[in-house]
Amino acid sequence: MFKRLLGNRSKNAEKSVGVNSEQNLMEQLDLSKLPVHVAIIMDGNGRWAVRMGKPRSFGHRTGVKALRQVVELCVELKIRHLTVYAFSTENWKRPREEINVLMDLLVEYLYKEIDELCANNVKINPIGILSELPEKAREAVYAARERSRDNTGLVFNVALNYGGRAELVQAIREIAEKINGNQLRVEDIDGGVLAAHLYTAGQPDPDLLIRPSGDYRLSNFLLWQLAYTEFWMTDTMWPDFGKRDLLKAFLDFQSRERRFGGLIRN
């Protein structure tokens, strides 16, 4: 089981005392106002490694540790949905060696973590054009999905070969096929029908989007689903991202006023 955070003093004094300690941040959190769905663009691995004079692959490997921390805290706080951007439809433009490292890390992560994820009732839901993944990655992804399919805890969407535009194109194609087959009428198409044909069908839209690494863009992530999502950006690079950053994001989220186009209620 994951370690309890409350009352668990870290070896690192900086992390365990002071206003920004996990303990302190945790105590400020209103557990009744947590985001239901958290989305994260796990960015900055390469730059983080290069700054340290290391190969980009070292950044990707360390980024996996950050992911582990984030999943742990989401489980602990009983967050319902977590969507992480792991590989985009545009990331194929990178050198073959880097793509191979990323795919190998994915396979390693899934095989190493699946027992613990299942012990914590996490349901792994890979999203993206999975059929185009290299065979080993595809097998690992399908196996993880199959093993965790009956889990009822955190829904862990892992975006792999994912692109928001590709997702919308696929949804529109499916809808068009249904119209062709007389299963649907043009006048019945609405936002609900479109959402039901996305990879995230049946899940609420993200409440909070986190992007580390100091870049301020969506990079083709969840284009439809992020319409009213609160954004939280940080200059921290993904390999340095930890539970304290996630807690800070949640605290900031709790101070936001979400209006969804309406007016403030007094």
Give which of ligand IPE, Mg ion, none residue 156 binds (C-beta under 5 to 8 Å, depending on kind). Answer: none
By beta-carbon proximity to ligand IPE, the closer residue of 35 and 44 is 44
Stretch binding Mg ion (CB under 5 A), from 36-44, 77-85, 161-169, 243-251: 36-44
Largest CA distance in the chain: 65
Closer residue to Mg ion, CB minimum distance, 20 or 100 = 100
Closest C-alpha to 64, from 94, 39, 42? 42
Site of interaction with ligand IPE (CB under 6 A): 41-47, 85-88, 91, 102, 213, 215, 217, 219
Instruction: Name which of ligand IPE, Mg ion, none residue 26 binds, using a CB cut-off of 5 to 8 Å depending on partner kind.
Output: none
- Minimum CB–partner distance for residue 43 and Mg ion (Å): 4
Contact indicator for 123, 154 with CB cutoff of 8 Å: yes
Q: Does 43 bind Mg ion (CB under 5 A)?
A: yes
Least spacing, CB of residue 266 vs Mg ion, in Å: 43
Nearer to ligand IPE by C-beta: 118 or 233? 233
Q: Would you name the residues annotated as active-site residues?
A: 43, 91
CB of residue 194 vs Mg ion: minimum separation in angstroms?
Answer: 29
Task: Decide if residue 113 touches Mg ion (CB under 5 A).
Answer: no
Task: Answer with the entry of ligand IPE, Mg ion, none that 80 interacts with (C-beta below 5 to 8 A by kind).
Answer: none
In whole angstroms, how close is the CB of 44 to ligand IPE at the nearest point? 4
Binding part of the chain for Mg ion, among 37-45, 64-72, 108-116, 251-259 by CB under 5 A, reads: 37-45
Q: Which residues bind Mg ion (CB under 5 A)?
A: 43
